[in-house]
Amino acid sequence: MHDYEVLAREVMARCETLARFSENAGGIRRTFLSPPMRDCHREITNWVAPLGCKSKVDAAGNLRIRYPGTGVNGRTLSLLVGSHLDTVPNAGAYDGVLGVVISVALLRAIDGRRFPFAIEVVGFSEEEGIRFGIPFIGSRAMAGTLDEEVLERRDADGISVREAIADFGLNPAEISSMALREDENAIGYLEFHIEQGPVLENSDRSLGVVEAIAGQSRLKFIFIGRANHAGTTPMNLRHDAVAAAAEWIGAVERRAKSVPDLVATVGAIQAKPGVGNVIAGEAELSLDVRHRDDETRKAAVEYLVDQAKHIAKSRGLEVQILELVNQQAVAMDSFLSGQIAEAMQKAGCEPYRMVSGAGHDAMIMATKIPSAMIFLRTPGGISHDPAESVRVEDIAKAIECGVQLLDQLAASSKFLSFMPRT
């Protein structure tokens, strides 16, 4: 039996090692199939080589590490465990990466034991949506939902997803054949991830069971007025796009505060011409709305769209609205979540059931196979920032919980008899 705290310290050290593989000096930035991703693949492959694993990089750039199982009645089964290896700009060392490294630690912790299912550790190539403006490229490919429109998306340098895959030495023509199939018998997906919020810390809990991942809407609003001289245009004759945007932002905040558990964010604002002595003729804003109930989320979006139109009309402006993302809420598998709660109790953690406000690869995998998530406490609730951190004792509990879960699933006839959706 391994000392879980020793393994946890190794996990933290390995996350810090991967943090050095970055597109930027002095900070962490690792986008879809950028050169540092190759370094990550090499490093992780070296870690698992002594454990009897086979490693490969699939056509979408996902690192896939297979620890063999014994099978059941001639069926070769597999449990997928992992997270993503890409990062946001100026990232911390643990978002996504921690889930992959904990999964590798699980292979260490089982001391060579074999289960009825193979354990496949997956390091997804892309989840954040930074390089191409669309998230989940890696898990979409595995779920069979990476379509031609996504493959033709281009980054800021004009390189398409398809070209980026080929430039990395992979064959984009093989993507359609890498989707999970019934004959592969992948019977579940488990993702460890930092919470990226303050709930577990405020509740003094190490781990959380994610019951659902909130749906999210992302839209772009462009208020179009008339640029003019800031010193010579009377206030009552202005068509100020920024003033309209400011009024609307207030409406966004009021709506979010009035609806339980709704969050709404205007995170990006761009004024044109963006000059201090010129009334803005145009203001472009982002809107991000999330809730675990899709109808509540959609109602909020409809309200805020109506508010934007009303504000624009009252000020003599136009408004253009573009929907970018309409992601439905996704429930995690109730059986796997129940098994996780039981494993947490055996590991000495009181299960805390919660909803994820952030999107994760698990929400894509859940369309194909039963999926579940375990959150680890995030000190200060800080994520997507260099100050992002995690506690050694929480990682130790996560590994212990993971080992308990493997044992439970190995003894579960219900889990072992699952046939994937096609």
What pLDDT sits at residue 327? Answer: 86
Note the pLDDT of residue 1: 52
Instruction: Give the pLDDT of residue 180.
Output: 85
**pLDDT (tens digit per residue) in 24-81:** 998 999 999 999 999 999 999 999 999 999 999 999 999 999 999 998 888 889 999 9
Residue 179, pLDDT score: 85
Residues 113-148 pLDDT 10s:
999 999 999 999 999 999 998 889 999 999 999 999
Q: Which residues of the chain have pLDDT under 50?
A: 422
- Structural domains in the chain, CATH included, are 4-214+329-416 (3.40.630.10), 215-327 (3.30.70.360)
3-state secondary structure at position 278: strand
Structure tokens at 343: 């494993």
What are the DSSP calls for 349-411, one per residue? ----EEEESS--HHHHHTTTS-EEEEEE--GGG--SSTT----HHHHHHHHHHHHHHHHHHHT
Say how far apart CA 3 and CA 14 lie, in whole Å: 17
Amino acid identity for residue 2 in this structure: H
pTM to 2 decimals? 0.87
Neighbour tally for 350: CB within 10 Å? 12
Question: What is the per-residue pLDDT for 422?
Answer: 45
What is the pLDDT, as a whole number, of residue 419? Answer: 62
